[in-house]
């Protein structure tokens, strides 16, 4: 068991509130020793020939996230909820509502940090992947729409805001003085090439995985279902950042593998 804290997210379907309960697996999910496990198993008794089930008492919510109200129909809710950190951090959570407002919560410090708005909301169940960048002071969070529609290659869509990365540092190319100071910001990424392909129809991500090379740089592999897309990979190195076609097959997993 590598993870020290299990972050259990419970959604209230009627209110849209997401509650985070931080569980210590060593206290709540495992026994301290083999003798304790054997004694507990002996005391449980048998129910219809099977061991009786124990009830897990969950800790109180550490924090709850409520969707901000919106005046437009279908514009209330949370559509991005992800853990940020691959270097031992298990308490930083990024959330965003369907309007694009985003926030970071640090459970260890018990504080909220307002983040810039997403350049474009990511829709239902977006793919969120936390990646460690070599030499960077903080990890980055890659967020992508799971459902894709055909996009024009002209105008602002060329920026590919269906895919974005949350990263810490100066906003390169900014015109204001404060753009040169480090901070959290969302940056649009190149969009998968098939999205602007003439005749492309709706497609959705079925699975994804990440690999890390000897230099510590990550590559994200994604498979799509629809229109015979197959699998592409995205190199997260800042000097590369491009999509490459891998093959017409799909990854042998469902949803995410790390």
First and final CA of the chain: distance in angstroms? 15
Return the pLDDT at 222. Answer: 93
Return the pLDDT at 229. Answer: 87
Relative to beta strand 255-257, strand 243-247 is: unpaired
- Burial label for 216, CB within 10 Å (0-12, 13-18, 19+), is exposed
Return the pLDDT at 83. Answer: 85
- List Cβ neighbours of 220 (8 Å cut-off, separation of 6 or more): 129, 131, 142, 208, 209, 210, 233, 234, 236
Number of other residues whose CB lies within 10 A of the CB of residue 106: 16
What is the C-alpha to C-alpha distance for residues 9 and 12, in angstroms, rounded to an integer?
Answer: 10
φ, ψ (nearest 5 deg) of residue 246 = -100, -45
The three state secondary structure string of the chain is CCCCCEEEEEECCCCCCEEEEEECHHHHCCCCCHHHHHHHHHHHCEECCEECCCCCCCCCCCEEECCCCCCCCCCCCEEEEEECCCCCCCCEEEEEECCCCEEEEECCCCEEEEECCCCCCCCCCCEEEEECCCCCCCCEEEEECCEECCCCCCHHHHHCCCEEEEEEECCCCCCCHHHHCCEEEEEECCCCHHHHCCCCCCEEEEEEEEEECCCCCEEEEEEEECCCCEEEEEECCCCCCCEEEEECCCCCCCEEEC
For residue 154 the two structure tokens come to 């002209």
What is the C-alpha to C-alpha distance for residues 233 and 134, in angstroms, rounded to an integer?
Answer: 19
- Whether the pTM exceeds 0.85: the reply is no
Hey, where are the domains in the chain? Answer: 1-66, 67-257
Identify any residues that bridge with 169 across adjacent strands, giving them in sequence order. Answer: 183
Nearest CA to 81 among 143, 25, 24?
143
For residue 175 the two structure tokens come to 């015109």
Nearest CA to 92 among 153, 5, 222?
5
Return the pLDDT at 147. Answer: 81
Taking only Cα atoms into account, the Rg of the chain, rounded to an integer number of angstroms, comes to 21
Per-residue pLDDT of the chain (258 residues; tens, 9 = 90+): 455 777 788 888 777 788 888 887 767 666 667 777 677 666 655 444 444 445 667 788 888 887 766 544 455 555 678 888 766 567 888 988 877 889 999 888 888 999 999 988 887 788 999 998 888 888 999 999 888 765 555 544 444 478 999 999 876 555 544 455 678 999 999 888 888 776 666 788 999 999 988 888 899 999 988 667 899 999 998 778 889 999 999 998 887 765
Return the pLDDT at 56. Answer: 66
> Half-sphere exposure (CA, 13 Å, Cβ side) for 169?
14
Cβ pair 67, 97 in contact under 8 A: yes
């Amino acid at each position: 068991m590598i993870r020290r804290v299990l972050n259990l997210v419970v959604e209230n379907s009627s209110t849209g509130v997401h509650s985070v309960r931080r569980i210590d697996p060593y206290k709540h999910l495992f026994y301290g020793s083999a003798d304790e496990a054997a004694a507990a198993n002996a005391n449980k008794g048998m129910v219809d020939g099977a061991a009786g089930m124990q009830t897990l008492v969950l800790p109180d919510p550490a924090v709850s996230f409520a969707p901000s109200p919106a005046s437009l129909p279908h514009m209330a809710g949370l559509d991005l909820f992800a853990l940020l950190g691959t270097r031992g951090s298990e308490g930083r959570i990024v959330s965003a509502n369907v309007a694009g407002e985003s926030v970071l919560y640090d459970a260890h410090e018990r504080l909220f940090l307002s983040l810039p708005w997403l350049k474009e909301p990511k829709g239902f169940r977006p793919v969120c992947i936390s990646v460690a960048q070599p030499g960077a002071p903080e990890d980055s969070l890659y967020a992508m729409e799971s459902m894709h529609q055909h996009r024009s290659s002209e105008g602002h869509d060329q920026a590919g805001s269906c895919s974005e990365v949350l990263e810490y540092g100066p906003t390169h190319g900014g015109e204001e003085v404060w753009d040169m100071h480090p901070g959290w910001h969302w940056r649009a990424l190149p969009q998968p090439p098939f999205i602007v392909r003439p005749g492309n129809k709706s497609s959705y991500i079925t699975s994804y995985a990440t690999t890390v090379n000897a230099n510590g740089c990550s590559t994200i592999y994604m498979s799509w279902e629809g229109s015979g897309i197959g699998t592409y990979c995205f190199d997260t190195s800042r000097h590369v950042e491009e999509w490459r076609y891998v093959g017409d097959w799909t990854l042998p997993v469902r949803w995410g593998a790390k």
